[in-house]
């Protein structure tokens, strides 16, 4: 694994983007005077994060110190917790994981129940990862993940998955690593989070680099550079340049690699002024080493080693001492090569990295063996074997595999001799068997297909039969209702029409005085009005059955409309000496269909007249309740029983004779119910025998 593996996501330890989680601007109690100051702290820390993004570390540091000072003076708990998170982010951007670890642990200790613990754990995991402590990094990331509400913070979870992908890859769990990589990239694309997408693409490209899949590595790194330039993300552009240089170097394209390292070096001075370019120097030295330019390689390794020691970057010390050992070996400086390899071994021990330690021992073993120091070589080999049982097992398995391969080859040769005689016969038998199997499979597939077609046909047939039965039942029901309705209507119309015929016959006679003729005309007019009402209800019902209920709402002046309808019923009321009263307020308006409204009122008033005795009264009331207009038709007629009241709006048409033997079909009240409900209203009846009836309905207010 190359030194470049440390060029991974640190700024995005968890919340490194403006679209990520924000802390509360002001929490807890605070005076009105304190709130603007606390808001200023939050703005400073937000701007600090942006400066870190752009690599403007000097400005970021100034804002961070100012925010910390203000939070302390205000005793602003959320602000102080946010300062710890920002400090960790800042130190990681300066490639100072040791200091970041100290700060973040202090923050977790100081705020054991803080809202930003997930961020601290995530940055802490990044600090461990930069130091090469992979297992600690994974543990910290899992603690961060346990504190995230993925439904509320999917972007935070994506950033954490990217960090975990790199850590799992470093631990050797590649399948889990790539799974996390692609999940993180898909979330970034869905959220249009270009800054985070640039980081994810860079990390994935670098991982393909480690896998020696240079085609995919170049593809993702180029995408990362393109996105980073588009959003001005200089820090990530720097990382992508270095990783692209590593890819070119591993492909043997050394001149192109050096070009990318130079671009990275120029950008490093802008992004991290005052910070040594340890990684760039190391990779440049490695390129010169591969080219055979040993003096240039040694110079770069020495510079990188110096900066790594100053910054206490153990992994940098390890890789640079390894590089210097290789330079010395190629120059033929035996003692220097061994000396540098021993320093690599010490660095590996300080890192507590068994893999590095094993590599250092293997290096010493090869050098001592090459230079004839067989005793030392044996000692180093034994030490390497003692470090890890897995290495011993791997070597042992390799030897067993070697001997096992020889045995398998010999056995295979013997078996081939025995089988060669039967091979021709078996080929014919196998060919016949294959054809039989193919035919059988084709037949089975055909049978399955035919059975499927029959099943679908039967299913469609059953569905059609079911629909036909449903339609038939519906038509039968409608036909019965139609026959019943027309039977009722014909019955209700026959008697009045017969009576009118008789009246007309009498009117044609000459043996009637004027008073008798006037009475007969009045009766005739009442009978005609009653029949007109029945006919209008019948026509309305027919239209509803043919084309459905079509509501055309308009603004209705209720009092004026009620007056018009009462005027139409004045003659009927006077015949029974019934008093009609309109108490609806002047300004009461409804948003309803005028024709439907008139039909509802006409039927309810006509019904009240029908069941009132001589001298009774009918009062029309109206008022507004919560956006609805309620209209009441209140009469002092004969009333009805509870059984009659419950059956009044049923689907079954029922009719009773009025107080003056008036007939009806029962259709009018059913139409009233349908038209009220079609306009979003309700209709209900209150009644008491011998006291009267109140029919009420509601419609939307205008």
User: For residue 1, is pLDDT > 50?
Assistant: no
Both tokens assigned to 557: 């002046």
Q: Rounded CA gap, 284 and 678, in Å? A: 82
User: For residue 12, is pLDDT > 50?
Assistant: no
* pLDDT of 475: 80
243 within 8 A of 206, measured Cβ to Cβ: yes
* pLDDT of 380: 73
> Bridge-partner residues for 695, per DSSP?
633, 685
Residue 266's contacts (CB-CB under 8 Å, 6 or more residues apart) are: none
Average pLDDT over residues 424-443: 85
* pLDDT of 257: 94
Specify the CATH architecture of the domain 193-268: Alpha Horseshoe (1.25)
- Across 522-557, b (16+ Cβ under 10 Å) vs e yields eebebbebbeebbebbbebbeebeeeeeeeebeebe
User: For residue 408, is pLDDT > 50?
Assistant: no
Place of tokens 């009441």: 632
User: For residue 404, is pLDDT > 50?
Assistant: no
User: For residue 3, is pLDDT > 50?
Assistant: no
Q: What is the pTM of this model?
A: 0.43
| 446 vs 431, residue with greater confidence | 446
* pLDDT of 26: 39
Q: Rounded CA gap, 244 and 262, in Å? A: 12
Q: Rounded CA gap, 144 and 118, in Å? A: 4
CATH T-level assignment (fold) for domain 276-387: 1.25.40
52-102 pLDDT tens trace: 877 777 888 899 899 888 888 888 888 889 999 999 988 988 888 999 999
Mean of per-residue pLDDT scores for the chain? 81
User: For residue 47, is pLDDT > 80?
Assistant: yes
User: For residue 398, is pLDDT > 70?
Assistant: no
CATH T-level assignment (fold) for domain 549-700: Heat Shock Protein 90 (3.30.565)
* pLDDT of 652: 65
* pLDDT of 505: 64
Place of tokens 């917790």: 81
CA distances (Å), origin 679, targets 94, 224, 596: 70, 60, 9
Q: Cβ–Cβ contacts within 10 Å for residue 626, how many?
A: 7
| 427 vs 541, residue with greater confidence | 427
Q: Rounded CA gap, 284 and 636, in Å? A: 107
| 499 vs 601, residue with greater confidence | 601
Range with the poorest average pLDDT among 30-44, 519-533, 623-637: 519-533
User: For residue 604, is pLDDT > 80?
Assistant: yes
* pLDDT of 368: 82
229 within 8 A of 221, measured Cβ to Cβ: no
Band (pLDDT 50/70/90 cuts) for residue 482 is low
HSE (side-chain half, CA atoms, 13 Å) at 523:
18
Band (pLDDT 50/70/90 cuts) for residue 523 is low
328-358 pLDDT tens trace: 989 988 889 889 988 988 888 888 777 788 8
| 172 vs 438, residue with greater confidence | 438
Range with the poorest average pLDDT among 184-198, 396-410, 566-580: 396-410
Task: For the chain, give every residue range classified as CATH 1.25.40.10.
Answer: 1-181, 193-268, 276-387
Q: What percent of the chain has pLDDT over 90?
A: 33
CATH for the stretch 1-181: 1.25.40.10
| 113 vs 550, residue with greater confidence | 113
H or E element that contains 6: none
Range with the poorest average pLDDT among 10-24, 310-324, 540-554, 640-654: 10-24
| 614 vs 158, residue with greater confidence | 614
| Positive or negative torsion for Cα 518, 523, 528, 530 | positive
CA distances (Å), origin 469, targets 355, 473, 546: 78, 6, 21
634-687 pLDDT tens trace: 999 999 988 888 888 776 666 677 888 776 656 778 888 988 998 999 999 999
199-240 pLDDT tens trace: 899 989 988 988 899 999 999 999 999 999 999 999 899 999
3-class SS shares of the chain: helix, strand, coil, % to 5: 75, 5, 20
312-330 pLDDT tens trace: 888 889 999 999 999 998 9
């Amino acid at each position: 694994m190359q030194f470049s593996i440390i060029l991974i996501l640190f700024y995005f330890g968890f919340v490194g983007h403006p679209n990520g989680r924000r802390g509360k601007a002001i929490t807890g109690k605070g005076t009105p005077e304190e709130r603007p100051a606390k808001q200023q702290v939050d703005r400073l820390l937000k701007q600090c994060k942006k400066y870190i993004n752009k690599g403007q570390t000097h400005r970021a540091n100034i804002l961070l110190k100012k925010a910390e000072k203000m939070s302390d003076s205000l005793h602003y708990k959320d602000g102080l917790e946010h300062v710890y998170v920002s400090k960790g982010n800042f130190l990681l951007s300066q490639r100072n994981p040791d200091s970041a670890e100290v700060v973040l642990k202090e923050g977790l200790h100081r705020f054991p129940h803080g809202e930003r613990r997930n961020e601290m754990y995530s940055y802490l995991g990044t600090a461990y990862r930069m130091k090469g402590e992979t297992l600690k990094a994974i543990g910290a990331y899992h603690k961060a993940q346990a504190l995230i509400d993925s439904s509320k913070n999917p972007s935070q979870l994506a950033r954490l998955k990217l960090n975990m992908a790199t850590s799992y890859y470093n631990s050797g769990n590649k399948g889990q690593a790539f799974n996390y990589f692609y999940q993180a990239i898909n979330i970034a694309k869905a959220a249009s989070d270009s800054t985070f997408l640039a980081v994810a693409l860079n990390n994935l490209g670098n991982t393909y680099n480690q896998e020696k899949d240079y085609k995919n590595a170049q593809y993702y790194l180029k995408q990362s550079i393109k996105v980073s330039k588009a959003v001005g993300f200089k820090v990530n552009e720097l990382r992508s340049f270095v990783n692209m240089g590593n890819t070119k170097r591993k492909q043997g394209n050394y001149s192109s690699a050096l070009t990318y390292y130079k671009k990275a070096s120029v950008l490093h001075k802008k992004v991290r002024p005052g910070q040594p370019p340890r990684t760039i120097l190391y990779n440049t030295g490695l390129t010169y080493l591969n080219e055979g330019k040993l003096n240039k390689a040694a110079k770069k390794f020495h510079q990188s080693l110096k900066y790594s020691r100053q910054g206490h970057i153990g992994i940098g010390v390890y890789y640079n001492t390894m590089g210097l050992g290789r330079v010395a070996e190629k120059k033929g400086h035996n003692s220097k090569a061994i000396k540098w390899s021993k320093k690599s071994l010490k660095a590996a021990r300080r890192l507590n990295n068994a893999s590095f330690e094993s590599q250092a021992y293997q290096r010493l073993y090869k050098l001592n063996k090459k230079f004839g120091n067989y005793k030392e070589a044996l000692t180093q080999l034994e030490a390497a074997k003692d470090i890890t049982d897995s290495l011993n097992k791997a070597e042992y398995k390799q030897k067993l595999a070697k001997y096992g391969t020889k045995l398998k080859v010999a056995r295979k040769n013997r078996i081939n001799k025995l089988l060669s005689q039967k091979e021709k016969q078996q080929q014919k038998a196998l060919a016949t068997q294959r054809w039989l199997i193919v035919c059988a499979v084709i037949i089975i597939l055909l049978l399955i297909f035919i059975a499927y077609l029959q099943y679908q046909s039967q299913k469609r047939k059953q569905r059609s039969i079911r629909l036909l039965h449903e339609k038939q039942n519906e038509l039968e029901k409608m036909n019965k209702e139609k026959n019943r309705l027309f039977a009722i209507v014909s019955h209700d119309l026959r008697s009045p029409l017969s009576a009118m015929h008789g009246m007309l016959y009498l009117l044609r006679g000459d043996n009637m005085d004027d008073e008798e003729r006037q009475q007969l005309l009045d009766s005739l007019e009442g009978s005609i009005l009653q029949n007109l009402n029945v006919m209008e209800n019948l026509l309305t019902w027919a239209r509803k059955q043919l084309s459905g209920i079509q509501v055309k709402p308009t603004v209705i002046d209720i009092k004026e409309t009620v007056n018009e309808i009462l005027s139409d019923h004045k003659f009927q009321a006077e015949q029974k000496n019934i008093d009609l009263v309109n108490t609806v307020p002047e300004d009461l308006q409804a948003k309803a269909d005028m024709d439907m409204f008139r039909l509802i009122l006409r039927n309810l008033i006509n019904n009240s007249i029908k069941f009132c005795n001589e001298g009774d009264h009918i009062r029309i009331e109206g008022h507004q309740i919560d956006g609805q207009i309620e209209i009441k038709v209140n009469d002092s007629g004969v009333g009805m029983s509870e059984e009659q009241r419950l059956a009044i709006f049923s689907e079954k048409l029922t009719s009773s004779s009025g107080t003056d033997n008036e007939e009806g079909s029962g259709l009018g009240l059913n139409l009233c119910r349908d038209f009220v409900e079609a306009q979003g209203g309700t209709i209900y009846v209150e009644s008491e025998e011998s006291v009267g009836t109140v029919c009420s309905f509601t419609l939307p207010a205008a």
